Amino acid sequence: MTETHSMQCTTSILVMKEWQSNIKAANQTIGFVPTMGFLHDGHLKLIEEAKKSYDYVAVSIFVNPTQFGPSEDFDAYPRNLNADVRLAAQAGADIVFCPEVIDMYPEDSGIRILPGPLANRLCGVSRPGHFDGVLQVVLKLVNIVQPDAVFFGMKDAQQLAIIESFFIDFNFSTRVVRVPTVREQDGLAKSSRNVNLTVQERTEAPLIYAVLQQAVVLCQEGVSSKEIERFVKETLEKKTSGTIDYVSLLTYPKLESPTDSSADLIIACALQFSKARLIDNILFKKEG
């Protein structure tokens, strides 16, 4: 395959299934990158990573209504399909699947997948039902695309932990690949929602990552979880105009309160600005 390959784009579930079926019949592999569109460097990194290890790369662009709560920004969520298709092609995608809501959810049988206690922390507390919708759409997309591997960024660390657990619990043959968070030069995690920051908020937003980095050092120095969470919360409240949704130091990927023997940890927070809710985290080892 050459670098300047032509890319297919389809809204049809049937066409997508035929595409993957032909690839499987030829004993070739598929890497899959599910997205909600408005692609940025973080998404492109996922596509590039998938391209390194798999014969073909499929990208889905679907703003999934079932993971938005009643007061959340489904209609306001940024969309730019033409630009997304162009960027996906440049990054090496072989097909972009952008189904319509009516095709993905033709009727509602009422069957649900419940993410369990992993969803009762971090973002899940203020977004009830969010991860039910995430698991629903991921299951549907993986069943349609039938990939060998699916790629997720670590910025959405809770989502990643829940999806990894879901795939293990339900014996998926698709493997989950973690890809590190892609950041702006000033440390701000790349996100489709960053366009909704005001000029003032954009100058404040990089503090999230800077303060989380300080929190990691404190933890490795033996400061207690509660003290660290309070430090992050107070610093961000003092130095930004955002409102703290949560700050949590937990084990990863189980998302439990750490004990003295916990090795793999996550410090995560969500900060609500006027029109954008930003999340960020750092995964780290307690011993440094």
- The answer on 266 and 215 residing in a single domain is yes
Tell me: pLDDT of 21 over 60: yes
Same domain, 158 and 196: no
Please report the pLDDT score of residue 78 as a whole number: 87
Please tell me whether residues 200 and 173 are part of one structural domain. Answer: no
**Residues linked to residue 283 through DSSP beta bridges, in sequence order:** 266
Is pTM beyond 0.85? Reply is: yes
* pLDDT tops 90 at residue 247: yes
* The pLDDT of residue 126 is above 50: yes
Catalytic residues: 43
On the question of pLDDT at 226 being above 50, the answer is yes
Work out how many domains the chain is built from and give that number: 2
DSSP 56-82: EEEEEE---GGGS-TTS-TTTS---HH
Q: 173 among the known binding-site residues?
A: no
**Residue 67 annotated in ligand binding:** yes
In a domain, 261, yes or no: yes
Identify whether 288 is part of a domain: no
Contacting residues for 107 by C-beta, under 8 A, at least 6 apart: none
Task: Kindly give the pairing relationship between strand 30-35 and strand 264-272.
Answer: unpaired
User: Is the pLDDT assigned to residue 7 strictly greater than 50?
Assistant: yes
Structure tokens at 35: 């997205």
> In this structure, are 238 and 198 located in the same domain?
yes
3 within some domain: no
Res. 288: pLDDT tops 80: no
**Is 192 known as a binding-site position?**
yes
Q: How far apart are CA 136 and CA 117, in angstroms?
A: 17
Final residue belonging to a domain, choices 126, 148, 179: 179
Q: Are residues 196 and 175 in the same domain?
A: no
Dihedral, CA of residue 117, residue 160, residue 122 and residue 166, to nearest 10: -10
Instruction: Tell whether the model's pLDDT for residue 251 goes beyond 60.
Output: yes
Domain range spanning residue 196? 192-283
Q: Residue 71: what pLDDT?
A: 80
What's the pLDDT score for residue 218? 97
Domain check: are 50 and 167 in the same one?
A: yes
Say what the pLDDT of residue 76 is: 85
Q: What is the CATH number of the domain that holds 227?
A: 3.30.1300.10
Residues 85 and 24 in one domain: yes
20 is in an annotated binding site: no
36 is in an annotated binding site: yes
Report the CATH number that the domain containing residue 154 is assigned in CATH.
3.40.50.620
Q: Is 197 annotated as a binding residue?
A: no
Q: Do 135 and 231 belong together in one domain? A: no
As a whole number of angstroms, the distance between CA 240 and CA 4 comes to 44
Does one domain contain both 103 and 199?
no
Whether residue 162 sits in one domain with residue 198? no
Tell whether residue 43 is among the known ligand binding residues: yes
Whether 271 shows a pLDDT value over 80: the answer reads yes
Write the DSSP assignment of 118-145 as a string of letters: GGGSHHHHHSTTHHHHHHHHHHHHHHHH
The average pLDDT across 122-133 equals 93
What's the pLDDT tens digit per position in 46-97? 999 999 999 999 999 999 999 998 888 788 888 999 999 999 999 999 999 9
Decide if 39 contacts 33 (C-beta within 8 A).
Answer: no
The verdict on 160 and 253 lying in the same domain is no
Put residue 187 in one of left, alpha, beta given phi > 0 → left and psi -120 to 50 → alpha: left
With a cut of 80, say whether residue 219 has pLDDT above it: yes
pLDDT given at position 3: 44
| Residue 239 within any structural domain of the chain | yes
The reply, when asked if residue 1 is annotated as ligand binding, is: no
Task: For the chain, give the mean pLDDT.
Answer: 95
Question: Structure tokens of 4?
Answer: 């300047």
Confidence band for 4, pLDDT divided at 50, 70 and 90: very low
- 38, pLDDT greater than 60: yes
Residues 70 and 142 grouped into a single domain: yes
Residue 123 confidence (pLDDT):
92
Q: Give the pLDDT band (50/70/90) at residue 5.
A: low
In the chain, the percentage of residues whose pLDDT exceeds 70 is 98
